[in-house]
A = this chain, B = another copy of it.
């Protein structure tokens, strides 16, 4: 097919070119979007855990996983929990989010971010993204807050709804760090708690510091599709010892320590990570540095082939950031947006699993009536983003 005008009309052979490009990097299909990579002590630790019979709510691997996580991320404290959604729920509670509050979250995120807000009986308030990070646009958010909120008794009040905006939960999309300097300044200036949804960004750094350690609290996920997995799992990160103690307490049914008495001093949750899952996590964390090298290598190989294709770009880490490249991501040019579903179809039919970004949160029935700012950038990104096969095992040395 001859090029007619690549910059104004969709290039209908782009889907096939993308299939060829992916094949040239990762070899013959099939390839899933992301699969776990077990090349270390996974079976040894899991077997050790089974042999100990301590597979459940207490055990050495949970303690060790928490210590290892804190060491890796540089957070002072890490509390292992049953999944990333549970981590977000508790982090929001600890940030003071309560019934009737609003919580600022990106419209472009996985549904867990919004769901966790509702578990606190609070209301998600959707904010826009920026092209450079895919995450919350700090400048646009600041302008919005200036005109749409006011400070009352040290709280940020939404002038339209009259509700308190209690927290801001940026998400590091596909592992790319958000503009933390800009968002920390907003949190400070508007008296809003910053909770980082770092579910996707274990191994990602903003100005040399690990994501999830900037806010009052941060949350991680170790679901099966993440960079490392515990089967199901998550963690809460914080530098505040009292918040960490409270997080552990709330996630373990709020039981007071006693040799035999069952006294619970507040309404708690059964959000413990089982020791069996932590055993897997300890082994996976040992492999994480090598996985990050492999994921960067995969990015570089993709970059080499996609650089020559017109109409698309491979998403790269923001300036002064180091992304974990959890999910490798193509961004179609605006003029090629109409090709998205054809690309998804061609790649998936060829056995290369790809997917678009999530449906934007305000487009889901459950959140249709929630407050939101102009979301034009998120909207445009959601129409053009495509995740492509990203497993670390594809380039694991």
Q: Which of A108-116, A150-158, A187-195 contacts B (4 or more CB under 8 A)?
A: A108-116
Contact of A260 among B264, B266, B348 (CB under 8 A): B348
Contact A359 B56 (CB under 8 A): no
Contact of A118 among B43, B230, B261, B267 (CB under 8 A): B267
Contact of A83 among B84, B110, B224, B270 (CB under 8 A): B270
Contact B85 A83 (CB under 8 A): no
B-contacting residues, A244-303, CB 8 Å: 253, 255, 259-270, 272-277, 280
What count of chain A residues pass the 8 Å CB interface test? 66
CA distance A224 to B53 in the complex (A): 9
CA distance A277 to B274 in the complex (A): 9
A36 within 8 Å of B (CB atoms):
yes
A170 within 8 Å of B (CB atoms):
no
Encode contact with B along A364-381: 1 for CB under 8 Å, 0 otherwise: 111000000000000000
A98 within 8 Å of B (CB atoms):
no
Contact of A53 among B36, B47, B268 (CB under 8 A): B36
A266 CB to closest chain B CB (Å) equals 6
A7 within 8 Å of B (CB atoms):
no
Contact A229 B56 (CB under 8 A): yes
Contacts of A85 in B (CB 8 A): 269-270
A111 CB to closest chain B CB (Å) equals 5
Contact of A262 among B111, B229, B263 (CB under 8 A): B111
Contact A270 B112 (CB under 8 A): yes
Question: Chain A at the B interface: mostly helix, strand, loop or mixed?
Answer: loop
CA distance A111 to B229 in the complex (A): 30
Q: Which of A63-71, A202-210, A350-358 contacts B (4 or more CB under 8 A)?
A: A350-358
CA distance A16 to B358 in the complex (A): 64
Closest partner residue, chain B, to A57 (CB atom) = B224
Contact A229 B115 (CB under 8 A): no
Give 6 pairs: A residue, B residue, CB < 8 Å, sorted on A.
A54-B224, A57-B232, A121-B121, A260-B355, A262-B358, A276-B276
Q: Given known contacts A38-B53, A54-B224, A232-B272, what 14 new A-B pairs fall within 8 Å (CB)?
A: A36-B55, A46-B47, A55-B229, A55-B280, A111-B253, A111-B264, A111-B268, A232-B277, A259-B348, A260-B355, A262-B357, A262-B358, A263-B359, A276-B277
